[in-house]
């Protein structure tokens, strides 16, 4: 199945080099989708138009992930800090999100995608919360790609929320402090049901993680491209994965096979 998909891609615009084995693929890809504003600026357009164009990149990357058989794709769509942007820009982003949730469900279902979100979802507009809940429910039994949108997300907030949960459990005598270890902490993060990302892509050149998955990125391979998010399409995504496949992940050892 995977093999034949790769064959199709080789015939179309997939310029080979990516190994035809599922083992070489990252199970979990996380993306900081950055540069919508600069993309618009470079074309003398409004920032809003950059965000609109960015939605198409999301569609391409989600579809390509499904075709490749990627298991988890986590997209940083709106950070806690992004609430400090001008109201008009926030309104547009919320409108685009609402539209995406309405329009995309059909395609997600067709592609067997399980849709979920991480972040302080209760801080989003009520109407969006309802649409999210609907899409999550509708796709919960799908077995293909798990697509996670990070919305009103901040990794430090996530860690604070986890620490509060743990503190309450200790207070209530459900958990003893000696039993707190990395696994217990991981189980209290928003991402508790996901493996850590193998691969982080950041578009538009910034060399920072901007409060994204700080715990989970401990041993993630990082790929930064100067390409602005609205220009980051299927071929850019495939090229990035190709670069991942050339990495040697050592996890602190001298050589992973040792
Ligand atoms: C990413 O693009 C979208 C969000 C953060 C919501 P930006 O809007 O940050 O674009 P730049 O970084 O200003 O170019
Ligand atoms: C990171 O981009 C957040 C998202 C992509 C949603 P930002 O544009 O908000 O990050 P900074 O401000 O450049 O660090
Ligand atoms: Mg930005």
- The pLDDT tens digits of the residues spanning 98-115 come to 999 999 999 999 999 999
Residue to mutate (ligand 1; options 31, 35, 42; most atoms within 8 A of CB): 35
Residue-level pLDDT at 6? 40
Question: Is the pLDDT at 21 greater than 90, yes or no?
Answer: no
34 is catalytic: yes
At 258, the pLDDT band (50, 70, 90 cuts) reads: low
* C-beta 206 within 6 A of ligand 2: yes
- Measured by CA distance, the residue closest to atom 3 of ligand 2 is 79
Residue-level pLDDT at 255? 75
For residues 87 and 41, what is the distance between their CA atoms, to the nearest angstrom?
Answer: 19
The percent of residues in the chain predicted with pLDDT above 90, rounded, is 89
Residue-level pLDDT at 14? 40
Instruction: Supply 206's token pair.
Output: 């910034």
Question: Which numbered ligand comes closest to the C-alpha of 80?
Answer: 2
- Angle at alpha carbon of residue 134, lines to 128 and 138, rounded to 5°: 145
Residue-level pLDDT at 117? 98
36 is catalytic: no
Give SS3 for 233.
Answer: coil
- The pLDDT tens digits of the residues spanning 162-186 come to 999 999 999 999 999 999 999 999 9
- The pLDDT tens digits of the residues spanning 132-146 come to 999 999 999 999 999
Instruction: Supply 42's token pair.
Output: 């470079």
Residue 2's alpha-carbon distances to 23, 39, 104, 245, in angstroms, are: 11, 34, 24, 16
> At 145, phi and psi to the nearest 5?
-55, 135
205 Cα–ligand 3 center, Å:
10
**Residue 178 within a domain:** no
48 Cα–ligand 2 center, Å:
15
CATH code of 119's domain? 3.40.1180.10
Question: Is the pLDDT at 4 greater than 60, yes or no?
Answer: no
- The pLDDT tens digits of the residues spanning 115-131 come to 999 999 999 999 999 99
pLDDT (mean) for 9-31: 62
167 Cα–ligand 3 center, Å:
34
**Residue 232 within a domain:** yes
Question: How many structural domains comprise the chain?
Answer: 1
Question: Is the pLDDT at 18 greater than 90, yes or no?
Answer: no
**Residue 136 within a domain:** yes
- The pLDDT tens digits of the residues spanning 28-80 come to 999 999 999 999 999 999 999 999 999 999 999 999 999 999 999 999 999 99
- The pLDDT tens digits of the residues spanning 201-214 come to 999 999 999 999 99
More confident residue, 258 or 222: 222
The domain in which residue 84 lies consists of: 26-154+196-245
**Residue 174 within a domain:** no
Give SS3 for 52.
Answer: helix
Q: What is the pTM of this model?
A: 0.92
């Amino acid at each position: 199945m995977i093999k034949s998909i790769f064959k199709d891609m080789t015939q179309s615009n997939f310029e080979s080099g990516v190994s035809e084995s599922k083992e070489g693929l990252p199970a979990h890809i996380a993306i900081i989708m950055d540069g919508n504003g600069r993309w618009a600026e470079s074309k003398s357009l409004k920032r809003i138009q950059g965000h609109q164009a960015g939605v198409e990149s999301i569609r391409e990357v989600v579809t390509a992930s499904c075709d490749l058989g990627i298991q988890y794709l986590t997209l940083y769509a709106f950070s806690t800090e992004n609430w400090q942007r001008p109201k008009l820009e926030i309104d547009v982003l919320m409108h685009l999100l609402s539209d995406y949730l309405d329009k995309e469900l059909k395609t997600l279902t067709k592609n067997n995608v399980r849709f979920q979100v991480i972040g302080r979802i209760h801080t989003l507009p009520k109407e969006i919360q309802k649409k999210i809940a609907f899409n999550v429910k509708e796709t919960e039994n799908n077995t293909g790609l798990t697509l996670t949108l990070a919305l009103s997300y901040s990794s430090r907030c996530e860690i604070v929320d986890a620490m509060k949960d743990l503190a309450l459990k200790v207070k209530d005598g459900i958990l003893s402090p000696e039993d707190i270890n990395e696994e217990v902490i991981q189980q209290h993060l928003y991402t508790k049901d996901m493996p850590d990302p193998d691969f982080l892509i950041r578009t538009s050149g910034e060399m920072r993680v901007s409060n994204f998955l700080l715990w989970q990125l401990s041993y993630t391979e990082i790929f930064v491209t100067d390409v602005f998010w609205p220009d980051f399409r299927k071929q850019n995504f495939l090229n990035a994965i190709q670069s991942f496949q050339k990495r040697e992940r050592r996890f602190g050892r001298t050589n992973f096979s040792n």
